[in-house]
């Protein structure tokens, strides 16, 4: 009975998880860049306008990185968005970055930044914000939903 209840709770939790469709190549590129560097580096997640699908990843090698913080190179990313990505029908779906140790949750600073971006991008229903743990070479899928902007939700990645 206890095992059945545990399975039921796990299945229920998975059914309630937001699903993000992500290209397998994006996942691989994230682990080969962010996952192979010291903590606190990152990049932008991109995909077709009007969807939550993540089809592209751009590693932000111009971002400001310390051992405890990552700040995107917003000047370069904004230029690329205007000149390359939006004209090609691609827009931002979120950011991915790494944390030190095994801290695989969004920090309060992360949440403030994500909420600012959600406020500026009315078309986003969710902000995709996975965390990479380089020391363990793993990625935790997280999102922040527009209708729950103060809560980071565990998500399910569906690969294509």
Query: Distance between terminal CA atoms of the chain?
Result: 36
Give all domains of the chain, ordered by start, each with its CATH number. Answer: 25-159 (3.40.140.10)
Q: Rounded to an integer, what distance in angstroms lies between the CA atom of residue 132 and that of residue 140?
A: 6
Against a cut of 0.75, is the pTM above it?
Answer: yes
pLDDT of residue 68: 86
With contact defined as beta carbons under 8 Å apart, do 143 and 129 qualify? yes
Per-residue pLDDT in tens (0 to 9) along the chain, 160 residues = 666 555 545 545 545 899 999 999 999 999 999 999 999 999 999 999 999 999 999 999 999 988 888 999 999 999 999 999 999 999 999 999 999 999 999 999 999 999 999 999 999 999 999 999 999 999 999 999 999 999 999 999 999 9
| 48 to 16, 33, 92, 99: CA distances (angstroms) | 24, 23, 9, 28
């Amino acid at each position: 009975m206890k095992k059945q209840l545990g399975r039921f709770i796990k299945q229920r939790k998975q059914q309630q998880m937001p699903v993000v469709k992500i290209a397998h190549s994006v996942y691989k590129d994230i682990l080969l860049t962010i996952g192979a560097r010291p903590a606190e580096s990152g990049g932008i997640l991109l995909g077709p306008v009007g969807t939550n699908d993540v089809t592209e990843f751009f590693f932000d090698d111009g971002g400001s990185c310390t051992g405890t913080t990552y700040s995107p190179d917003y000047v370069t990313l904004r230029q690329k968005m205007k000149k390359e990505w939006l004209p090609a029908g691609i827009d931002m779906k979120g950011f991915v970055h790494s944390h030190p140790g095994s801290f695989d949750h969004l920090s309060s600073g992360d949440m403030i930044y994500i909420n600012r971006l959600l406020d500026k991008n009315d078309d986003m229903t969710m902000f995709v914000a996975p965390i990479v743990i380089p020391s363990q070479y793993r990625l935790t899928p997280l999102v922040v939903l527009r209708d729950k902007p103060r809560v980071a939700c565990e998500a399910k990645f569906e690969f294509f």
